[in-house]
Each structure stands twice: as C-alpha cells, then as structure tokens.
Structure 1
Amino acid sequence: MPMDILLKEILSIQGVSGDEAKICRFLVEYVLQRSSSWKVTPKLYFGEKFHENIVLVFGKPRTVAFAHMDTVGFTVRYENQLVPVGGPELDESAFLIGEDAQGIIRCKAELRDGNIFHDFPRAIQRGTSLSFEQHIYEDDGFIEAAYLDNRIGVYNLLKLCETLEDGIIVFSTYEEHGGGAMPFLIKFIYENWGIRQALISDVTWVTDGVGFNKGVVVSMRDRYIPRKVYLNRILELADKSGIPYQLEVEAHGSSDGREIQLSPYPMDWCFIGAPEENAHSHREKVAYFDLECMIKMYQYLMCNL
C-alpha cells in the first residue's frame, strides 16, 4: 500500500491542540470538493458553532466514528521557554516549526533544569504553537512521520466516507490535551439522531502483546473499559469479516472514548486502530498492512453494526 496523495497532504498540515484551524479548513474543503462523488453525499456541519470540529451525517445513521485531528506540540512561553501540549517526546535533535507575526520559525528544543527552551535566535511571540518538522519516510511496508497520531485515524475515516451509506463521521479537537470538544459533540449527535454506539479511529501502541503486521487492534480496555456486551458484538463481527485483527488489553492511556464513557449519554464505544511505535515523537511508525486492515474493518463494521 504505497502512500497516496491524501495521506501525504494531511501529514503536511500542522494542528496542535487548540490550534486546529488549518487542518479543519483543509478537511472542510476536501469534503466540499469530493463528497458529490461518494456513494452518499453527507450533510456537513461545521463553523463557529462547532469551533474547529466537523460532523458528517450519511443516510440514516446507527453508528458514529470519531477521529481527533489535533497533534501534540509546544506553546511558546517567555524567556525562550516552551510548554508541552499533550505529551510530546522531546528529542533535542528534532526541529520544531511554526509561525508568528514576524515570520517562519524553525528551531530546536532542549531540556535544562527541568524546563524546555528553544534556540531560535530571536524571541518568539508568546502563545505561538510549535510542532515537529515533518519528514516522511517509507521503507519495507512501513511509514514513519510526525503526526501519524492521529492523521492515520483521520485518513481512515476519509476513506470510509467514500463508501459509507449510513453513519456519522466526526473529526474532533483537543484530544491530545485532555479533551473538551467531545461533550457538546456527543450531546449534538445523541439528541439529534439518538446514536448509541461509537467507534474511535485512532492509533495505539506496539507492546509486548501487540505487534506490527498482525492486523488492526481492537482494544478491550485501556485506562477506561468499554461495555462488554458492545465489545462482544464487535468481536463477533470482526471474526465474521475475516479481516486480520489483534486484541489489546492495557491499564493506561485513553482516547475520545473516555469522554463518551464519562458523558451522561448511554453511548457505547470501542477503540479500533493501527499500532504504532515512537508515539508522540517526530518519527512515529505504522505498518501499511495494519492500516489496510483498519480501513477494511471500519468499512465492514459501519455497514454491519
């Protein structure tokens, strides 16, 4: 599965939590340009009332799939300090990029006395977002790049849009830094369409029990635990699909599923995604085979749930 232009395009766009306007604008324009050629043309909800979040409604929906579009990064403080956004892995060899009122920024960061500092030769405007400079590598069935978390999840849902007849697709914000957008999105979706089942399109970790080239990961739990009845339905369908998958059981980590579980709405959820190495770094790594399985599994589940 060689990388297509769409994946490369969304990997090239910055979108640190709280600063998702560029990636939001790209996705809205993409939908407006392409949706007439999809199997079903969705109703599109976006704009100031939704902040930078996007909701696509296809046909008569039964299930909603969420993918967060934000990434980890840094916010410029004062005295050349940087404050992490989410949990970026600091690598002093990696370049950070951004832009303020005075121009383009490219710098490195270093940890000194417990604080993070940039080495840009001038002061950077306070509040500027910085994220890893993008370099995309493809080799022997793998892709390495920054922002795979969660542009892989976004790409998966964009591919799903091409064939989806009934369902809701949501591109959400703020996931990497504690959430915040999901409560009003869940309320909007539940109160307008009565949706009670959700899938979380995101990436997870390669661990001692989850490996590359073994298929998409169905998470049985992370820090939070999906309802077993719903999980069993998904596993039944996953078996029937014949699509390679692997099971994950973890004690830590979370996703937009957390916000669903803590909401006052009776909506089930399950995290399903490709595994990656080097999470939150400038060289996250995903196997194309696992991504292919992820795309196929979402197409199957959204049709049959």
Structure 2
Amino acid sequence: MQLLNSLCHIPAPAGNEVALTRFILNYVRQMSPGWQHQPTVIADERFQDCVLLVFGQPRTAVFAHLDSIGFTVRYGRQLVPIGGPRAEAGYRLVGHDSQGEIECTLTIDDETGELGYAFHRDIDRGTELTFYCDFRETATTVQSCYLDNRLGVWNALRLCETLEHGIIAFSCWEEHGGGSVAYLARFIYETYGVRQALISDITWVTEGVRPGLGCAISLRDSLIPRRSYVDRIRAIAAESGIPHQLEVEGSGGSDAKELQLAAAPWDWCFVGAPEDHVHSPDELVDKRDIESMRQLYQVLLQKL
C-alpha cells in the first residue's frame, strides 16, 4: 500500500493535475525496467497533463482519471467547489500560494451555506485547496482522502507490471466536467484502432453493492453501456472465479461519458471497487475489493 499512500498524498485537483502527472512519469521511468513488457510512453503538449502507456498490440484501453475534487479560493475568504466534494465545517484543507504553505479549515455560513476558510491570512484568489491527507491502513481496510481515484490509478499502474497488450490512459478533469477523454479516445481509435475500454475508477457502497464482496461491474449508471460488451465482461469474470458484484444505478458517471458521446464506436464498462464516505477526507475501501479489482483487470486485459 506504500504506492497508494504516496498517490493519495499528491494534490491534483481537476485542472491542476501536473504534480501527479510528473509522479506517474517518474514512476514509469523507475519501475518499467522491471515490468514484463515495456510500454511506449506518450506524454506531450498534444495531451496536456494526460499520459498514455501503450503496450504491444493493444485491443483494450483502460482509463483512470488523475484528478480529484477540491476547492478554489474566490474572494473575501469564499471557496468554490471543484467537482462535488463533501463539505463539513472543520475539515482540514491544504495548499500553497505565493506566500507559502497553507493548512486551514473549511467553514460553512450557518445562514447562507456559503463555503469559506479559516486561516491567519488571506489566501491568494485562484488557489486550489484539497483535503489534508490522513492515510490509515488496517489489516482489512484502507481509508484516506482521494481513494477516488488514486486507487484506480494504483490499479492501472499495478496492471502495467504484467501487461503485454493494452493501453493505459491517465486522464484529467473527470471530477469537474471532463474534456480530456474526448481527444484521448480520438487519438487511440485513429492510431491503434482500439474501441473497447474499461474504466478503472471507484464506485459507491450502496444497499446493493457491499464492502468485501468484490469489485463492482457496473451494468449502468446515468449512462448505459452496450449490453453485449458488458455480457462478455460478466462471462469472463464468472469464469475466472474472482469475487465481484453487479451494480445498477440511475445516476453518477465517469470517463465513460465521453466515450459514449464519441464519434467512434467505443464500448465501455466501469469496473471498480466500492468505497464508503464518498468524496470526503475519510473514503474507505475494503482490501478484499482492492485485490478483486487488481486480479479481475489482469484477466480482462488478457481475454477481451
């Protein structure tokens, strides 16, 4: 879990993912010599802060978003949400501006509900603030801010250790409207002819998806993937014997939304571990679901 711990400590709110991008590229440089197969690394100004790792002759792309939710400093000590963070008065927030490092607390106006911060000085407007990272590991669970989606990134990096054929796409902006998957998907489709995807992201613990029973294969959220593709994934998962659950939701979304709307025939399916305390500093995931997710992705990339 040391890699996951490191990932969770790196601030990368939507729109300012560059620190995590640099970490990913450095990690690949250091670790890829020990992987079974070597990827082509694509990371340049065409793709902003996104990263593509291309292995062999790919048939499937795995999308994992780098960014997290957070807050932007506005005026008069006001804060504007980035994405949909849970907001409770007293949450510890961190960041840095032209005057130095910041550790402040979230405030909520009792009358207006307006978000703000308590700090000994004014913070530069436009500064991003993220949850203070308190990474907690037990024998059975991991708890931290930003397991969504650092755990999806961790899963993709672990997949690289044995991956022979496939594309790992680290995207940006997912938590705040998306935008990067559109050009990534176009490049991948036009360059490699790949048009099927897995979304390495984190879903919710609900009344139908319980912790410890395996990662979730989503049959739908606010969007509906093509049933024949999802059925292929379900068949591979069932044959593998790896614990998993089926998810059916009517709301929520992921990087898949841009694949669904792409001017290319992309198939996609969300496969990810469920977490409790979503979008808070205390996101909680069962280690059995993490291991299920890791194992299932290895099998899916071999057989899809």
Q: TM-score, normalised by structure 1?
A: 0.98
RMSD: 0.7
Does the residue aligned with 2:159 lie in a helix, a strand or coil?
helix
Structure 1 residues not aligned, in runs of 5+: none
Count of residue pairs the alignment pairs up: 302
Distance in 1 (CA, whole Å) between partners of 2:184 and 2:19 is 20
SS at match of 2:3: helix
Residue type of the alignment partner of 1:46: A
| Aligned twin of 1:28 | 25
Matched, 1:16 2:5: no
SS in 1 for 2:231: helix
User: How do 1:121-270 and structure 2 match up within 5 A?
Assistant: 121-270=120-269
Deviations, residues 81-131 of structure 1 (Å, cap 9, x unaligned): 000000000121220000001000111111111311111121111110000
Name the SS of the counterpart of 2:295 in structure 1. helix
Question: 1:97, 1:241 → 2: CA distance?
Answer: 43
Tell me the amino acid that sits aligned with residue 242 of structure 1.
G
2: CA distance between counterparts of 1:85 and 1:93? 18
Give the partner amino acid of 1:105.
Answer: I
What is the percent sequence identity of the aligned residues? 49
In structure 1, C-alpha distance between the alignment counterparts of 2:13 and 2:44, rounded to whole Å: 19
How much has 1:47 moved relative to structure 2? Answer: 2.3
Partner of 1:51: 48
Cα drift, residue 158 of structure 1: 0.4
Contact 2:94 2:129 (C-alpha < 8 Å) held by counterparts? yes
Match of 1:81 among 78, 100, 104: 78
Provide the rounded CA distance (Å) in 2 between the counterparts of 1:150 and 1:295. 14
SS at match of 2:6: helix
Q: Tell me if 1:283 matches 2:256.
A: no
Query: Where does residue 271 of structure 1 map in the other structure?
Result: 270
Structure 2 runs not aligned, ≥5 long: none
The whole-number CA distance in structure 2 between the counterparts of 1:224 and 1:244 is: 25
Question: CA offsets, 1:46-82, max 9 Å, x none?
Answer: 0222111000000000000000010000000010000
**Distance in 1 (alpha carbons) for counterparts of 2:28 and 2:88:** 35
Which residue of structure 1 aligns with residue 116 of structure 2?
A: 117
Matched residues in 2 for 1:282 and 1:27: separation?
A: 23
C-alpha distance in 2, partners of 1:301/1:135?
33
